[in-house]
Amino acid sequence: MEKTIDEARDVACLYLVVPCYNEEQVLPVTAPRFLNKIKEMEGKGLISGESRILFVDDGSSDSTWSIVTALNNQDHRFQGIRQSRNRGHQNAVLAGLMEARSKADIVISVDCDGQDDFDAMDAMVDKYYDGYDVVYGVRSSRESDTFFKRFTAESFYRILNALGAETIYNHADYRLTSKRVLNAFADFHEVNLYLRGLFPLVGFPSTTVEYERHERMAGSSHYPLAKMLSLAFNGITSLSIKPIRLITGLGAFVSLISFIGVIWVICKVASGDTVSGWASTACILCFVSGVQLLSLGVIGEYVGKIYMESKHRPRYIISDRTFGDE
């Protein structure tokens, strides 16, 4: 007799880790969809009945936490933890992953605004049963983005690759991870978090699943250009020290040009000519000062990161939890 899916394999317990920051507008819209998705996957025998949706309130100043507690009262499959203050998306996801790893077999981190297509979860879980420990959700296209967003995102991936950092093209933080990956990841203690760049370093079999990125279902983005740039800088400095080497190369290049210039001036003077032109001297001085300041800035970025890392401050602090499970 043929075995049903449940008999053929242990059904995994799935936790969805959903970071939320000031999301009172979108949570009431997306929460029921998350629950339906969990129920649907449980119905298909993909995940067990212990599966949960874990909201991580990242220190919201609006009514997000009251909504999370109300959801928990409504259905025990909604769970929540609350950060003592806002610490940013990456830290919120980390808090959720670390909280979920003791209870779940697999965790999917997913934004709470409905932009990550829920239907990709089935394929992600299927890949887990195929033997993959990490399944990266990758955007199938960037057609819905503005030209500027597409250009900056693509340039960023190119720069990272040129710097030798392994990154998954078009992957944000929509990702499935298995318990053993999360247990290994718990030994990564860095404060300068760039999760999408760290998971490839953990290792274990990994694959990708394509999905459509939708419009936000309500509310507005918390990632203005300045925050995006800061995340991009974090990504580069967390994954590569090549920029410092590039500075050495740049220094060598500028020194070589100066050396050739000096030889040229000596030859001119020796042949009885005078070298005129204060404007060109001023330009060269400005150029060299610019290069030096830029180089100092890059080195300073790394020194600042070392300073922050050396403090070993906690990366998240949980102030509240929903109770009412089981």
How many residues touch ligand UDP under the rule CB under 6 A: the total is 16
Q: How far is the CB of 224 from ligand UDP (least distance, A)?
A: 9
Binders of ligand UDP among 257-316, rule CB under 6 A? none
Binders of ligand UDP among 19-58, rule CB under 6 A? 19-21, 23, 58
Contacts of 151 (CB under 8 A, 6+ apart): none
Work out whether 178 is an interface residue with Mg ion (CB under 5 A): no
Q: How far is the CB of 311 from ligand UDP (least distance, A)?
A: 21
Going by DSSP bridges, is the β-strand pair 206-211/134-139 parallel, antiparallel, or unpaired? parallel
The residue from 25, 48, 63, 86 that contacts ligand UDP (CB under 6 A) is: 86
What is the biggest distance separating any 2 CA atoms in the chain, rounded to whole angstroms? 103
- Residue 111 sits at φ, ψ, to 5 deg, of -65, 155
- Interaction partner, residue 207 (Mg ion, ligand UDP, none; CB < 5-8 Å by kind): none
**Residues present in the chain in total:** 326
Work out whether 115 is an interface residue with Mg ion (CB under 5 A): yes
Q: How far is the CB of 58 from ligand UDP (least distance, A)?
A: 4
Adjacency order of strands within the sheet including 78-83:
206-211, 134-139, 171-178, 106-109, 14-20, 52-57, 78-83, 318-321
Q: How far is the CB of 101 from ligand UDP (least distance, A)?
A: 18
Binders of ligand UDP among 111-150, rule CB under 6 A? 111-113, 115
217-236: buried (b, 16+ CB within 10 Å) or exposed (e) per residue? eebeeeeeeeeeeebbebbb
Which among 111-119, 170-178, 260-268, 282-290 is the span making contact with Mg ion, rule CB under 5 A? 111-119
Which alpha helices (DSSP H) does 57-212 contain, by range? 64-74, 89-100, 120-129, 147-162, 179-185, 195-202
Q: Which residues bind ligand UDP (CB under 6 A)?
A: 19-21, 23, 58, 86, 88-89, 92, 111-113, 115, 221-223
Using CB under 5 A as the criterion, which residues of the chain lie in contact with Mg ion when the complex forms? 111, 113, 115
